[in-house]
Amino acid sequence: MSQDKYKEISIIRYLPKMPEFIHAPYIPEMDFYIAIRSGDIKRTRELCKEQLHEKEGLGILSENRLQNMKYHFVISAALIARQCIEGGLSLAESYSMSDYYINRADKLSDIIRISELHDEMALAYAERMRRLLKENIFSRPVTDCIEYILEHLDTRIRMEDLCDHTGLSRSYISRSFRKETGLTVTEYILDKKLETACNMLDYSQMSVTLISSTLAFPSPSYFVRIFRERYKMSPGKYRASHRKPDIRILHKQGLSS
C-alpha cells in the first residue's frame, strides 16, 4: 500500500457522522501512546488490557460491532504510527508496520481476534521503539540501565536502583554510561523525562502539576524551572505553541490530515 493510500485510510473521511457519545477516560489512553513511543514494553503490555476491547465508552463509529472495531483499529494504528514517527521512527518503517497490521485486521471477522491483534501491534511498535532508543548502545550493562530507566520514568530513579538492577558498581555504571551515551546517568534520565513531559503537553489536557507528579519530579516548581531552562519557555507556553490534536476528538471523528 502506498503512503498516499495509507494517509487516505488514516484520515477515515468515509466514517459516518455520529451523535455525541460518552467516551472512555482520556488519561489512560494518552498513557498508552506515550508508553509505546517511549519503548516501555512492560507498561504497554499492562495498558493493552484497557485498549480497543469492547469496553464502555469505546465510541460508536458504526452500528455494526465488527466494523466498529475495525474503524477503531485503523484509528489506533494511525495514532501509534504518528507517535512513533515523532519519536524518531522512519516514515517508511512506521507506515509499513501500520499497513501490515491494518491489512491483517481487515481480513478478520472476529472481534476478539481484532482486539488481540491490536495488542500484538502495540507491543511490536513498543519493541521497535525500544530498539531504536538503544541501537547505538553496545554494552549490556548500559543497555540494561537504559531499559530500567525507560520502564521507571514514573519514579525517582536513583543510582542505587541501577546498581541493584545490574549488580554493578556506581563508578563502573557512571563511567560506562558517560562513555557510550555522552551523558551522565542523571542527564539521560532528565532528558527522557522532559521528552515525555513534552509529549504529554502536546497531546493531553493533563495539568502541569499532574505531569510533574506523574513523572516523579520533586515538585511542580522544580519541573517548571528545569523545563524553562531546557526549552527557554514555560510548560504552559510550550503547550500553547506546540498544541497537537486531542486524541479523544481523533477517535471520535477520524484523523485530521
pLDDT in tens, 201-246: 887 788 999 999 999 999 999 999 999 999 999 999 999 987 665 5
Question: What is the C-alpha to C-alpha distance for residues 166 and 40, in angstroms, rounded to an integer?
Answer: 18
- Report the predicted TM-score, pTM, of the whole model to 2 decimal places: 0.62
Q: What is the mean pLDDT of the chain?
A: 81
Q: Taking the CB of residue 220, how many other CB atoms lie within 10 A of it?
A: 16
151 and 129 share one domain: no
Residue range of the domain that includes 169:
140-241
129 and 157 share one domain: no
149 and 106 share one domain: no
Question: What is the C-alpha to C-alpha distance for residues 114 and 2, in angstroms, rounded to an integer?
Answer: 23
| Total count of domains within the chain | 2
Contacts of residue 189, defined as CB under 8 A and 6 or more positions apart, other chains included, come to 149, 153, 157
pLDDT tens digit sequence for 166-215 = 999 999 999 999 998 899 999 999 999 998 899 888 877 889 999 999 99
More confident residue, 161 or 8: 161
66 and 37 share one domain: yes
Residue 60 has pLDDT above 80, yes or no: no
38 and 61 share one domain: yes
